[in-house]
Structure 1
Amino acid sequence: MEIKNVAIVGLGALGIMYGKHLVDRLGVDAVRIVADHDRIERYKKDGILCNGEPCTFRYVAADEPMEPADLLIFAVKYTGLKSAIANAKNQIGKQTIILSVLNGISSEQVIGGTFGFDQLLYCIVAGMDASKVGNELTYKNLGFISFGEANDVRSKKVQALAHFFDKVSIPYEIPEHMMHKMWSKLMVNTGVNQSTAVFATNYGGIQVPGKPRDTVIAAMKEVVKVANSEGVNLQESEIAGWLKINDALNPEGMPSMRQDTLQHRPTEVELFAGTIRKLGKKHGIPTPVNDFLYTKIEEIESAYSH
């Protein structure tokens, strides 16, 4: 099992970042960007810039029959996952490895429910500071990808992906407990993404003492309680490690949800506060901080049209 070519569905911040990185190392023919016809026309017309450089991408239409990809990466927002899955069906064969770089703990269940779980690896991404405004992406840190099987077996898929990431110089780790890692990342996103959106700030605003940083920490503590009730051994002591990672990011950068509210795009609040509130109710755990963040983000989104 060797990965020689990649299909990417979605050209948001991560799709562009990984797409450009892979094209630079594998060549334009080995990387395909999959989209519908209208979106492809728009990409070609407007162009895409990554750190000031024009991106040369090979676009393929979703309805075009073709050889399956060795690796398929979903890099859309959760709000666009359903249409992304429909667009990806011609990319998948029996040997295709499927990876989702979406936030939260839900996308793998949705993708696996459609294509089966046998070819899917669980994944989180962290440590990048990619910021997309219009058709321009800027970033300094590529971050790293954590991936593995749900049962933590070092399968042939896991080995093949590790070998591929070594070849293309993408930093990665294979955690001992993948589902713990997924919840840990949900914890940081629930704190950082939502607090920067609600307090209208960047990473710098949560790197210093104050209400935004306090809210980040309080929201993360609620995730710990919910995770524990779901049988995941998340610990409050892990919060400090995530704060250290975020404190090292470019202060002028901002997470995806803050970028969304700035550009009046739908957010992934249902993935973060939505998930924690729902599971909190299930287990009888109060989630006042996530209730506050959820309400505020709904207010921000409802004001877009005014």
Structure 2
Amino acid sequence: MTQQTIYHIGTLNQPWGEEEKSQWFSEQTIKRSYFDDVVTQIERLRGRYTVEKYGVLDYLHNSYPLFAVRSNDWQASKPTVLVTGGVHGYETSGVHGALRVVDELFERYQEHFNLVVAPCISPWGYETINRWNPDAIDPNRNFVADSPSGEAKALIDYVTSLELGLLAHIDLHETTDTDNSEFRPAKAARDGEVNTNWNIPDGFYLVANSANEQPEFQRAVLEEVAKVTHIADADDDGNLIGETLTQHGVIALPTEQLGLCIGFSKAKYSTTTEVYPDSSRTTPDECNQAQVAAVRGALEFLLKQAK
């Protein structure tokens, strides 16, 4: 469905300037605490695993340390798997699912892999329940060289510093009803474009890299997730979020070209998870469990490939 939406900031069909971006920023409020909800959980992992501060984001009203957690017995000879969460800070299960990955999966799989989790890449977005950072920039379109997103640049620099190629990268996301009610209309207004809404899929789905889809890998992830929650069916046009399915529950995008998080890492196996937390058929805990199941499905697939 395509519709002309007049957002409350800006002039129709004209991109935002600094005045409009400042107005947008002034309307954002803190709704929850990154330090209480996330940092405290990360600190509890110290001693069990390696916690590293890989950067700091300094914004007008606050300074946010950025953390990653690495598994024990880190060895260059092991394949390395990266899990990222909270690229869009408002996507709650991406953050808390990533923390549960450390708590529930590291002990089981660290013998076979170097595991590294960055659970909350966009802490200001987490606190204000936002897709963008304070500069009205979407980090998940800016995982590129010389990124204007401090969130994306910090992660790229950190992963580069590990000096190990990645075998796999799983990026944990959600698709929510607010994508249509707030974030897509705001994006269209910011860019001076016509807003195009899509039908929000009821269920879990994956986004693969169209240049390297790895369909068996995607299928293995979905099979594990299906034990926890339902997989999204195609809409009446046979699509998910306006994109053609490559298999049930999977679409593919040119991730590197679009500046998506899984694109920068150039991992052989990569996928972006999409949980639907607004479904009447799931709960917040099941959404977190689905994120863990996705990573577990990926790791089990990789173990089978190594045999």
Report the TM-score when normalising by structure 1.
0.35
Report the TM-score when normalising by structure 2.
0.35
Higher relative contact order (CA 8 A, sep 6+): 2
Hey, which of these two has a bigger chunk of helix by percent? 1
Hey, which of these two has a bigger chunk of strand by percent? 2
